[in-house]
Amino acid sequence: MISGILPVDKPEGMTSHTVISVLRRLSGIRKIGHTGTLDPMATGVLPICIGRATRAADFVADSPKQYIAELTLGVETDTQDTTGNILRTAPVQCGEDELREALAAFTGQIDQIPPMYSALQKDGRRLYDYAREGIVVEREPRRVTIHGLEILGEAGENRWNIRVDCSKGTYIRTLCHDVGQRLGCGGVMSALRRTKCGGFCAEDAYTLDMLREICESGRFEEILRPTESAFYHLPLCEISGEGEWRFRHGAPVWKRQLPEGLSEGVLMRVRGEREFLGLGCLKGSELWCEKSFCEIEEEA
């Protein structure tokens, strides 16, 4: 079975689900999944998991992200970005110093109220379904982490490019809205590009036009990254022999079968003699499998 991870550069105006449909048609492969949706107006890296690598989708989705966002001050919309209806405009009486001070208030752990135009569910319905009917429902704040916020420069009148390093679940348009609220003039997200996701960078991602040419030339399998590449940032644990057999079969690996120097309670990638086996965690004196990416070998 063809298996691996493909970093795609999602174009503006296309949903993540549409990207999957295009790839299925181009490659002829049905078992394909993405690692968390990008808004249609956003561009940038969208890691696509193929075949057995779809088991890694949730782990990639949970990884930190990096975005380049354009923040426009002096306007508010019902979607918190420039695709929505304008609710309010206001004069902008702040500069770079005031913006930098406002951004500092949003670093670290913060609570965000999810936007009404989002795919989160409330009582079995998507929030955007309520929003399209003009209904506003109560949403619980969600704790997210902003690891870094940096002003990259002006993008035009009352428009600023900012770099955001953040955790899973962060709404960048809500961040822009909240920054605008703090400055007193309102703010919206006017552009967004995801530059990093789960160890994959936009610079290394393939556009759909590139993928059409690659598929036509029969080279699709050659460009897939190994499943392990999604976890290169994790410490490595190499095992063999009986320890590898036990890990493959979901049994704990004893300490005497493990290399020295492993840290307890830390998620790590586990390799056998010939391949990446999965993710493991040392608990006490035993290594337990947290997620398997290998096939169990049949007994002779």
- Mind listing the pLDDT tens digit for each residue in 60-76? 888 899 999 999 999 99
> CB count, 10 Å around CB of 108?
9
Q: Is the pLDDT of residue 53 over 70?
A: yes
**CATH class of the domain whose range is 234-292:** mainly beta
* 299: confidence class by pLDDT, cuts 50, 70, 90: very low
Please, are residues 189 and 80 in contact by the beta-carbon 8 Å criterion? yes
Please, are residues 41 and 78 in contact by the beta-carbon 8 Å criterion? no
In this prediction, residue 297 carries a pLDDT of: 52
In this prediction, residue 298 carries a pLDDT of: 43
In this prediction, residue 176 carries a pLDDT of: 98
Average pLDDT of the chain is: 92
In this prediction, residue 118 carries a pLDDT of: 82
* 233: confidence class by pLDDT, cuts 50, 70, 90: confident
Rounded mean pLDDT, 274-290: 93
CA-to-CA distance for 250 and 284, rounded, in angstroms? 17
Structure-token pair, residue 104: 């500092």
In this prediction, residue 296 carries a pLDDT of: 61
In this prediction, residue 137 carries a pLDDT of: 86
* 162: confidence class by pLDDT, cuts 50, 70, 90: very high
pTM of the model: 0.88
- Which uninterrupted H or E stretch holds 129? helix 127-132
Please, are residues 145 and 108 in contact by the beta-carbon 8 Å criterion? yes
* Active-site residue flag, 39: yes
In this prediction, residue 170 carries a pLDDT of: 95
CATH assignment, 65-195: 3.30.2350.10
Nearest to 80 by CA among 116, 36, 127, 42: 116
pLDDT in tens, 3-33: 899 999 999 999 999 999 999 999 999 999 8
Task: List every span in the chain annotated with CATH 2.30.130.10.
Answer: 234-292
* 49: confidence class by pLDDT, cuts 50, 70, 90: very high
Task: List every span in the chain annotated with CATH 3.30.2350.10.
Answer: 4-63+199-229, 65-195
CA-to-CA distance for 292 and 219, rounded, in angstroms? 28
The pLDDT > 90 percentage for the chain reads 72
Of the listed ranges 8-12, 27-31, 80-84, 290-294, the one predicted with least confidence: 290-294
Structure-token pair, residue 134: 């003009």
E-state strands within the chain: 4-10, 32-34, 43-50, 65-73, 75-77, 86-89, 108-112, 121-122, 125-126, 142-156, 159-166, 187-197, 200-201, 236-238, 253-254, 267-271, 276-283, 286-292
CATH assignment, 4-63+199-229: 3.30.2350.10
In this prediction, residue 261 carries a pLDDT of: 86
What single-letter DSSP state applies at residue 248? Answer: H
Nearest to 198 by CA among 41, 57, 25: 57
Q: Is the pLDDT of residue 82 over 80?
A: yes
How buried is 47 (Cβ within 10 angstroms: 0-12 exposed, 13-18 middle, 19+ buried)? buried
pLDDT in tens, 166-195: 999 999 999 999 999 999 999 999 999 999
Catalytic one of 9, 39, 81, 178: 39
Of the listed ranges 126-130, 146-150, 194-198, the one predicted with least confidence: 126-130
